[in-house]
Amino acid sequence: MISVHETEKLSLEQIERFLRATKEVRFEATERSEVYSWIERLLCQQEYMRQGRRVRGLLRRYVGKMTGLSRAQVTRLIARYMASGQVRMQNSRHHRFPQRYTRADIELLAEVDEAHEGLSGPATRRILEREFREYGQREFERLAVISNGHLYNLRRHSHYRQRRRSYQKTRPSLVPIGERRRPDPQGRPGYLRVDTVHQGDSENAKGVYHINAVDEVTQWEIAACVERISEAYLEPVLASLLTQFPSSFAAFIPITAASSSIRPWLSC
């Protein structure tokens, strides 16, 4: 970072020579307040309002070179100086809606959710309404009339997340599914390895799925195919497939599936 001091005090001739010498050099200002102050001092020092068209153009190019501002920005700042004699930063005039719910309201909502373990929006609204109307808790006055949509907006607020941090561990699945592991038949037939292979799709049709069932001990193998991998297609095919194994396998031992896509239908 290079600081250049008293550049606003250069004469018009020096400014013109400076612009010619630094044609390939680019400057960029960092602090907007300092830039505005420097522009104001320059325009005042060079008596911009009294200058003719040529000198004003020279000063405009000088301001753009030293600050890195665009031509439109320089024009706007100089117009501000012409109107008031000052170049000052203006406060933002963006419209902001009034804040209805305070930080205390958000933290109070977090306390209610924590006490009731995060109920649904309508149930929580009913609790907030009863706290004010039936139990006379004045701190619930604004929350008592909150809409369901805005209640969820407050739950996403940073103050809410800071006040209430809840973590839920991963729950194990309650749906019984086949276990993907190598079978351990211990010399007994009836333990099957089941696998599915997709044939592949053609341009106009989707290919079928081949199902291979192999007994781990006897290596007895039966192959079948289905159009889709879903319960409606698999259940009748698997039922037919199991009946084709020798009758000596009647005392069926649980099947080990090699394909997770059909495990729910192989628990025997």
Q: What is the pLDDT of residues 21-77, one digit of tens each?
A: 887 777 777 788 888 888 898 899 888 988 899 999 999 999 988 888 889 999 999
**What percent of the chain clears pLDDT 90, i.e. is strictly above it?**
19
Sequence-ordered list of residues with C-beta below 8 angstroms from that of 80, at least 6 positions apart, any chain:
86, 87, 88
Task: Give this prediction's pTM.
Answer: 0.36
The reported pLDDT for the residue numbered 126 is: 93
Question: Which of 89-93, 112-116, 178-182, 239-243 is predicted most confidently?
Answer: 112-116
Q: Which tops the pLDDT comparison, 117 or 264?
A: 117
Tell me which residue of 109, 45, 113, 38 sits closest to 74, measured CA to CA. Answer: 38
DSSP 156-214: TSHHHHHH-----PPPPP-S-----S----TT-S--EEEEEEE----SSSPPPEEEEEE
Q: What is the pLDDT of residue 257?
A: 41
Confidence of residue 174 (pLDDT cuts 50, 70, 90): low
Percent of the chain with pLDDT over 70: 82
Residues 6 or more apart from 216 whose CB is under 8 A from it? 183, 185, 189, 191, 192, 193
H helix count then E strand count, the chain: 9, 4
Which pair of structure tokens corresponds to residue 201?
């799709």
What single DSSP character describes residue 89?
A: P
Q: Indicate if the pLDDT at residue 263 is higher than 50.
A: no
> 151 near 125, Cβ under 8 Å?
yes
CA dist 107 and 152 (Å) reads 14
d(CA 242, CA 213): 9
What pLDDT band is residue 213 in, cutting at 50, 70 and 90?
confident
DSSP state of 143: G
- Most confident range (mean pLDDT) of 11-15, 17-21, 84-88, 111-115 is 111-115
Q: Which H or E run includes 1?
A: none
Q: What is the pLDDT of residue 176?
A: 59
What gap in Å lies between CA 62 and CA 48, rounded to an integer? 12
CA angle 31, 33, 34 (to 5 degrees): 70
Q: At what angle do helices 12-21 and 53-67 cross, to 10 degrees?
A: 50
| Most confident of the following: 17-21, 102-106, 201-205, 230-234 | 102-106
Distance CA 196, CA 265 (A): 13
For residue 255, pLDDT beyond 60: no
Q: Which residues pair with 225 in a beta bridge?
A: 210
